[in-house]
Amino acid sequence: MARISFLQASALLSSFLTLTHAQASQSATPTQSGWSTTLNGTPTSFRSVFTIPASADVGADVIPNIQDPQAINAQDVCPGYKASQLQETDGGVTAVLNLAGAPCNVYGNDVEALSLTVEYQSKDRLAVNIRPAHLDASNTSQWIIPESLIPRPQPEGSHADLDLKFDWGNEPSFWFSVTRQSSGDVIFTTKGSHLVFENQFVEFVNDLPEDYNLYGLGERIHGLRLNNSK
């Protein structure tokens, strides 16, 4: 039985393509949509195919703003938000967040109005969701992952024995805290800082202890636990 190695097959294929190209080049003519040629007496057309240049994967030489001493600190120039239209039920809290001053637009355009939804899902789990209040054709870049792709946990059990407490305030601008009632531990708080929510930049400021464990921020799908930033 005849055998042919991969290298031999590649060499034969290369020779065939070279020969075919030589035959085609003798009668190839440009057309409006590509090239037209004759192979073995048969008219054949080829459509031009765009090839991405090698320089396409060379990005700008930049560093993260958190490591850039010249970068603007959004906390110094952005106004934050003020909460209004607060509604509280046994299952959670909803509110509207509006810019508390002139847009800062430091790393994109500030979103004027946000929607806050806090959902008590179980004794030891609550979900805080902050998203643009209005999504239409004018801001399609602010894409929200649909639940058909990433199903979210649903409320379960009674909220009578809820161990997590959600607090909020409007001074100096909107902030919120999540506290474990059984121990008094503050799990997450943005108190004393400004919420920055732009179409290309989102910032929550939170004090974290050394060797912290933080899970689920941003609805991560590649790994629930965030890496510690030393």
Position with higher pLDDT, 91 vs 77: 77
Sign of CA dihedral 159, 86, 176, 141: positive
Element housing 20 (H / E) = helix 6-25
Domain boundaries, the chain: 75-136+150-203
Q: In the structure, what pLDDT confidence band is assigned to residue 15 with cuts at 50, 70 and 90?
A: very low
- pLDDT, residue 198, reads 92
The average pLDDT across 16-26 equals 44
Position with higher pLDDT, 112 vs 91: 112
Q: What does the alpha-carbon distance between residue 126 and residue 67 come to, in Å, rounded to a whole number?
A: 33
Which of 39-48, 97-106, 157-166 is predicted most confidently?
A: 97-106
Residue 102 has pLDDT above 60, yes or no: yes
- Residue 198 amino acid letter: E
CA distances from 122 to 90, 119, 143 (A): 12, 9, 28
Q: How far is CA 115 from the centre of its chain?
A: 18
- Residues 6 or more apart whose CB falls under 8 angstroms from that of 17 comprise none
**Tokens representing residue 120 in the block:** 């008590």
- pLDDT, residue 16, reads 38
Q: In the structure, what pLDDT confidence band is assigned to residue 174 with cuts at 50, 70 and 90?
A: very high
What are φ and ψ of residue 77, in 5° steps? -120, -15
The CATH topology of domain 75-136+150-203 is: Immunoglobulin-like (2.60.40)
Burial status of residue 202 (CB atoms within 10 A of its CB: 0-12, 13-18, 19 or more)? middle
Tally of CB atoms within 10 A around 166: 18
Residue 229 has pLDDT above 80, yes or no: no
Query: How many CA within 13 A on the CB side of residue 133?
Result: 17
Report whether the peptide linkage leading into residue 155 is cis, meaning its omega lies within 30 degrees of zero.
no
Position with higher pLDDT, 211 vs 97: 97
Q: What does the alpha-carbon distance between residue 230 and residue 224 come to, in Å, rounded to a whole number?
A: 19
- pLDDT, residue 147, reads 78
- pLDDT, residue 79, reads 96
Q: What does the alpha-carbon distance between residue 120 and residue 155 come to, in Å, rounded to a whole number?
A: 7
SS3 134: coil
Among candidates 79, 100, 104, which has minimal Cα distance to 200? 104
pLDDT tens digits, 183-226:
999 988 999 999 999 988 899 888 777 777 776 666 555 566 66
- pLDDT, residue 63, reads 78
Position with higher pLDDT, 180 vs 156: 180
Query: Which residue stretches of 26-173 are H helix?
Result: 74-77
